[in-house]
Amino acid sequence: MSEAKVTILGCGSAKPTKTTSPSAQLVEMGDKSFLVDCGEGAVITMQKLGIRTGRLYNIFISHLHGDHCFGLIGLLTTLGMLKRTQPMHIYAHPDLEKLLTPLLEYHANDRQYEIIFHPINPRKHEVIFEDRTVSVETIPLKHSVPTCGFLFKETHRVKNEDGTFCYETRKRYAYCSDTQYSEKILPIIEGVETLYHESTFLQSMAARSKEVKHSTAADAATIAMKAGAGKLILGHYSARIEDHSLFLDEAKPIFENTILAEENNVIDL
């Protein structure tokens, strides 16, 4: 089984900057690749990094704010130009299909592959994808629009002494997209090996963070500490804060094993 890892394609919030693009990650687990959110320019970063889109079959969109899905039409039309024939599965709020279909009909009606939409309920915790090596569950979050994170579980088939087989969870990765601080997610992510949690603001901006239903670096670190996570990745930085080390300075006193999401970085899970 291949090594589990995440490639950061975008780690900024709504406003792109010289150093950050909107949210997008490529999760590789169980010999599969999963795209998690698809902010503007994600396909460009994938091309620069030499990521093979032919291995990508599943896309998970946390919510329908533009900085998490505006890159989809660019990616899907590019795949058409690359003569893709394999289906692409997209898991998202039901409204995404309504929004994206007219654009696909106008810009990519000659594509040779099928796009299959899987509507999900962001307010419900449930398994939305499962095969022999990986399962994906939703993590209901607290944001200004229906939003969920995703819990990736890598499983391994083990033979019992009686000759039967069972599946063991080997690694787990929790992606907690835009959200206000919420301890309701703790039972879902408890003991997770790696947690990505948005940290749009610093604690000095806590009032603004609460107003727009985002988290501070201290909020993210507190969630990681209370969940007993192994490692915390911060991301979704406000464009107002150019020095990302400030997020780390705020989080580490609460949760020591914290790192920053930086574009093009590959992080072992």
Q: How far apart are CA 141 and CA 17, in angstroms?
A: 26
67 is catalytic: yes
Q: Are strands 165-176 and 194-198 parallel, antiparallel or unpaired?
A: parallel
Give the phi and the psi of residue 66 in degrees, each rounded to 5: -55, -35
Point out the catalytic residue in the list 31, 37, 67, 268: 67
Sheet holding 134-140, edge to edge: 127-130, 134-140, 148-159, 165-176, 194-198, 231-235, 258-260
CA 160 to each of CA 130, 157, 163, 172: distance values in angstroms, whole numbers, following the listed order: 22, 10, 5, 23
Q: Which three-class secondary structure state does DSSP give residue 177? A: coil
Q: How far apart are CA 247 and CA 202, in angstroms?
A: 7
Tally Cβ neighbours within 10 Å of residue 172. 23
User: Could you tell me if residue 47 is left (phi over 0), alpha (psi between -120 and 50 degrees) or otherwise beta?
Assistant: alpha
The residues assigned a catalytic role are 67
